[in-house]
Amino acid sequence: MLVLGLETSCDETGVALYDSERGLLADALFSQVDLHRIYGGVVPELASRDHVKRMIPLIRQVMSEANVRSSDIDGIAYTAGPGLVGALLVGASCAQALAFGWNVPALGVHHMEGHLLAPMLEAQPPAFPFVALLVSGGHTQLVRVDGIGRYELLGESVDDAAGEAFDKTAKLLGLGYPGGPEIARLALQGTPGRFVFPRPMTDRPGLDFSFSGLKTFALNTWQKCQAAGDDGEATRSDIALAFQQAVVETLVIKCRRALKATGLKNLVIAGGVSANLSLRTSLEAMLQEAKGQVFYARPQFCTDNGAMIAYAGCQRLLAGQRPDGPGIGVQARWSMETLPAV
Query: Was 206 annotated as part of a binding site?
Result: no
Query: Was 282 annotated as part of a binding site?
Result: no
Query: Was 109 annotated as part of a binding site?
Result: no
- The pairing of strands 130-135 and 266-270 is parallel
Q: State which H helix or E strand residue 217 sits in.
A: helix 212-227
Phi, psi of 328 (to 5 degrees): -100, 105
SS3 121: helix
d(CA 212, CA 306): 31
DSSP result, 300-315: GGTSS-HHHHHHHHHH
**Residue 300: how many CB atoms within 10 A of its CB?**
12
DSSP result, 256-279: HHHHHHHT--EEEEESGGGG-HHH
CA distances from 264 to 115, 146, 175, 283 (A): 20, 11, 39, 15
Query: Was 160 annotated as part of a binding site?
Result: no
Neighbour-count burial for 246-285, b at 16+ CB within 10 Å, e otherwise:
bbbbbbbebbbbbbeebebebbbbbbbbbbbebbbebbbe
Query: Was 325 annotated as part of a binding site?
Result: no
Query: Was 138 annotated as part of a binding site?
Result: yes
Query: Was 135 annotated as part of a binding site?
Result: yes
CA distances from 122 to 153, 278, 308 (A): 24, 21, 11
d(CA 187, CA 133): 23
- Say what angle helices 179-187 and 277-289 make with each other, to 10 degrees: 70
Query: Was 110 annotated as part of a binding site?
Result: no
Neighbour-count burial for 171-196, b at 16+ CB within 10 Å, e otherwise:
bebebebbbbbbbbebbeebeeeebe
**Residue 4: how many CB atoms within 10 A of its CB?**
32
Q: Please report, in range form, the residues annotated as the binding site.
A: 111, 115, 134-138, 167, 180, 276, 304
Q: Please report, in range form, the residues annotated as the binding site for Fe cation.
A: 111, 115, 304
Q: Please report, in range form, the residues annotated as the binding site for substrate.
A: 134-138, 167, 180, 276
